[in-house]
Amino acid sequence: MTFLPPSPRHAATRPTRNRGHALRLASVALPLAALAGCMVGPKYHRPDAIVSARFKELRPEPGWENAAPQMAELPKHDWWTIYNDPILNGLEAQVAISNQNIKEYEANYRNARAMIDSIRAQLFPTISGSLGFNRAGHGEGSLSSSGSNYAKEGTTYNTYNLGPSASWDLDLWGKIRRQVQEQVTAAQASAADLANATLSYQAQLATAYFNLRYQDSLTDLLQRYVRFNEQALQITQNQFDAGTADPTAVLQARTTLEQNRASLVQAGINRAQYEHAIAVLIGKPPADVSIAPAALSRTVPPIPVTVPSDLLQRRPDIAAAERTMEQYNAQIGADMAAFYPDVTINASYAQSGGDPVTSLMSVANRVWSLGASATEILFSGGSRTAAVHEANAQYDNAVATYRQTVLTALQNTEDQLSNLRILSQQSAQQQKALDFANRTVEVSLNQYQAGTEIYTTVITNENSALSSAETLLGIQQQRMVDSVSLVQALGGGWDASRLPSKKSLQKDNPLLPSFIQKDTNK
């Protein structure tokens, strides 16, 4: 359907009042026609996730206790403060603002937001303006295109023209609005990805920090055993010099000492690597970061755990998967809209003349037009149908991804709950074993000094005690690391309400340049 504009001659002679009335009527009717358009495609409803009523590992077996008492909830932002470690707090505060990987996710999010404005711009009319000037001349006796002679003398004249034009896609079937919806939800998914990446690198930092503290405590343990080995070697050497010990005892004592010194060197290597990793996680070169040694905490803080359904709102990766479902749902509607005609409104107004003041203001030199056109694809070889089928398949894939993400989140949480519960019991049992091992070393050393036991027995008991001490320290390290993993599995205090709303993502004023508008979500 096309509306033909009146001829320039009729436009120039038609009463100005009638023309103005028609334009005012069109300015009201056309937006109403656009608003009356529908949005084709399915309405989005969040699919159900596969969620249990409660966590299995919160129902401990008889004789077992929960790894930690429950609190109300994790801190909303700085979840790492539950460890009460000022050094860790200072390091974690630098991750979100200095980690280069997080900056990459943040740039992706800003790109997704910019694409919203790019697509949303298609909902508004495109207005153009033109201003032209032309100067021409004819020599004496030259001929015009009709064959007539110009004036005998040369002629030079100027021509001016100016006027705006506009084009507007009415989006009667909601194709553009579906594309906007698709990009808005994609931006929300990108924001959730940013939150998930931030949480992931914060958890990596906490894990590296506790591993570093484990190496500090291991170093302290090995240093104590090295000092003990040095004393034992001195005792053995004195007995050998006095003729009451054989050379084998001295060699065994020295071998044990050197082995523990070698383990001490390896602990230093591992510590240096964890310190380097921490530096990179906070966006600094390793040469600029030095962390003073300190012992690994012996207390695992209580971690709040509620019900599995809370994970749907508290895990950013689940939120990203859910937003992706709506994104592909909107894409189905956009592809379905391709079966309907595109309706466009075109308008233009121009004036031309030889004088920039009097001629351009003359009614006779005004030209305007207002029309509408509709285009429809009559045959595309099935490409539009294929696009709809593809969008449906992508939506189904997103649903499966969402449900699998929820199941994986449940598994992660259950794993960490069981780890903390069992490791708590293992730690208590290992402490008992260490106490007995230390007592055995003390007794066997006394017996050796009294001449009732060979030194091999002392070495065997000493190695057993050191192994028990390392095992106990390793259990505590794993408990601290698993507590971080549990916090991450629970979302780290994040909540889906922190995602930017659809309204906030579409608040940019199309009449103002982007650099003038304040980006509050940046």
In the chain, DSSP finds a helix count (H) and a strand count (E) of 11, 4
**Nearest Cα to Cα of residue 94 among 213, 14, 206, 5:** 206
Q: CA dihedral defined by 81, 85, 89, 95, rounded to 10 degrees?
A: -100
Whole-number pLDDT of residue 76: 76
Q: What is the pLDDT of residues 337-351, one digit of tens each?
A: 888 888 888 888 777
Buried b (16+ CB within 10 A) or exposed e, 273-309: ebbebbbbbbeeeeeebebeeeebbeebbebbbeebe
> Nearest 5°: phi and psi at 506?
-120, 25
d(CA 216, CA 369): 81
- Three-state DSSP class for residue 370: strand
Token pair in block for residue 332: 């189905």
Q: Measured between alpha carbons, how far is 476 from 340 in angstroms, rounded to an integer? A: 65
> Which amino acid type is present at position 106?
E
What are the DSSP E strand ranges found in 139-257? 155-169
Residues of the chain under the 50 pLDDT cut? 1-26, 28-30, 32-36, 62-71, 519-522
Closest by alpha carbon to 368, among 210, 222, 206, 162?
A: 162
Place of tokens 């007539």: 148
Q: Give the pLDDT of residue 35.
A: 47
Alpha-carbon span 97 to 103, nearest angstrom? 8
User: Whole-angstrom distance between the N-terminal and C-terminal Cα of the chain?
Assistant: 45
> Burial, 202: exposed, middle or buried (Cβ in 10 Å; 0-12, 13-18, 19+)?
buried
Which among 287, 266, 267 is positioned nearest to 278, based on CA atoms? 287
b/e per residue, 437-474, with b = 16+ CB within 10 A?
bbebbeebbeebeeeebbbebbbebbbbbbebbbebbe
Nearest Cα to 215, choosing from 482, 487, 485, 476?
476
CB-based contacts of 351: which residues, under 8 Å, 6+ apart? 161, 162, 163, 360, 361, 362, 365, 366, 367
Length of the chain: 522
- Give the 3-state secondary structure of residue 182: helix
Q: State how far the Cα of 104 lies from the Cα of 79, in Å rounded to an integer.
A: 23
Q: Write down the pTM of the prediction.
A: 0.81
Give the span between the Cα atoms of 482 and 464, in whole angstroms.
27
Tokens of 123: 């909902």
CA-only gyration radius of the chain, Å: 39
Give how far the C-alpha of residue 124 lies from the chain's centroid of Cα atoms, to the nearest Å: 31
Contacts of 490 by beta carbon, 8 Å cutoff, 6+ apart? 74, 303, 304, 305, 311, 314, 315, 413
Give the 3-state secondary structure of 86-116. HHHHHHHCCHHHHCHHHHHHHHHHHHHHHHH
The H-or-E segment that residue 135 falls in is strand 126-138
Q: Are 130 and 161 in contact (CB under 8 A)?
A: yes
Local structure of residue 72 (DSSP, 8 states): S
Candidates 2, 12, 1, 5; CA nearest to 370 is 5
Q: What is the pLDDT of residues 418-465, one digit of tens each?
A: 999 999 999 999 999 999 999 998 999 888 888 888 888 888 898 899
The residues near 441 (Cβ < 8 Å, ≥ 6 apart) are: 458, 461, 462, 464, 465
Q: How far apart are CA 349 and CA 358, in angstroms?
A: 18
- Span 478-496, pLDDT tens digits: 999 999 999 999 999 899 9
